[in-house]
Amino acid sequence: MDFRYTVTDRIGKKIREIASADSISSLVANLKHQGLKPIKIESIAFAPRRKKKRSFFKRTSATPWEVAVLTRQLAATLASGLLLSEALDAVGGEMDNEYFGRVISKVRRDIHGGTNFSCALAKYPKIFSTSYVAIVRSGEAIGNLDKTLANLAKFLENAEQLKEKIKSAVTYPAFVFVFALLITSLLVLFLIPKFQEMYAQVNAPLPYLTKVVLAISDLIIHHSVLLSLGFIALTTLLFRIRHIPKIKNMYDLIALRIPIVGELIIYKFVISKFCRTLGVLLAGGVGISTALSITAEVVNHHPFTKSIEKMRQRIIAGSTISTQLRNFPIFPTFVAKMVSVGERTGKIAEMLQKTADYFDDELDNTIRRLTILIEPALIIVIGGFISIIIVALYLPIFNVAALVQ
């Protein structure tokens, strides 16, 4: 990629040149290594632009990874000495997501018009969350936006990496389940009816297991449309009512009580999110009251949200974070101990980040162990289920053969 840049040398002389680099970040690093201070960087293209393929569905948002990359690039360019509007212009020109690029252009125009960066970002809540805007606002207030954005980028990257680990752990079991469902459907729709016709012609007494399998097959075949519509209706209903506060609260409570998954995965995931969000907010200079309010919103899990809100009220009244963490059993004792150390050393944000790292590692190890156990368990369960169907179908044949002998 080619860039046109303006820099100043050690004696303050302006230099305008064109250079090639993999990205703005690598170019900035190279220029700083040469003792040059970047003032402005613009991406250019000497080759004619290729027409972008038109998509039937136009994108109207940005992925969390795209926001994380933007944040990382902004932190690097601001650290090199570029003005915020120039950094946005340079970074925004590299985006493949046209919608996101237009949003960044609008943010840049707002800044040129005198709007604060955080206020300009707040106009796009679907892309920049409340916590994101609050952290940027704190960085503006303390005049340390580049470091604040670097911490924020790390926070976003860690959150996405954790989500990717969970998704990858779920992918294989989901694939096996779908494959098993496909095999079962083939047995029910094609194999079982053939045996049913054969047994009807013979008019022989059937074992109880065979009758059950044939009855289930008959129900699925003759009421498949009704069953499908019922399943779709139930799924849609559950999806729509999950945002109702009382229903969501019930979902959250049930989720924590799911054997193995609730305690070992969901619980650790929420604790990690709590520690990391609160840590990055405090590191960015956000006040404790505001930081806890935003953390409760980001965690978005009723038992924790309710506890965090009660903690916030007591901390405002003069209590410490570690004391309140001990008063609420939903939080592990380990978190309270780490925060207590942070309070004594004046490094609460750093200790919260380390605690989040600890739970991330625990969650990673748990997912890895569960994945190793789930694979053979799924194979055994699915194999056993299919074996029951096969035995049920062939059992009458074995009985007839025994009678003949």
CA distance 91 to 345: 38
Q: Are 217 and 193 in contact (CB under 8 A)?
A: yes
Rg of the Cα atoms in the chain? 30
Ranges of each domain in the chain: 2-46+59-128, 155-405
Q: Architecture of 2-46+59-128 per CATH?
A: Up-down Bundle (1.20)
For 137, the token pair is: 């606002």
280-308: pLDDT as tens digits: 888 878 889 988 988 888 888 888 999 99
For 67, the token pair is: 């926001």
CA distance 295 to 305: 8
What are φ and ψ of residue 301, in 5° steps?
Answer: -135, 115
pLDDT at 231 (0 to 100): 85
How many angstroms separate the first and last alpha carbons of the chain? Answer: 83
Residues of the chain with pLDDT under 50: 46-53, 55-56, 403-404
Mean of the per-residue pLDDT values of the chain: 82
CA distance 151 to 153: 5
CA distance 300 to 331: 15
pLDDT at 50 (0 to 100): 42
81-97: pLDDT as tens digits: 778 887 887 777 667 78
pLDDT at 283 (0 to 100): 85
Q: Do domains 2-46+59-128 and 155-405 have the same CATH topology?
A: yes
Class of domain 155-405: mainly alpha
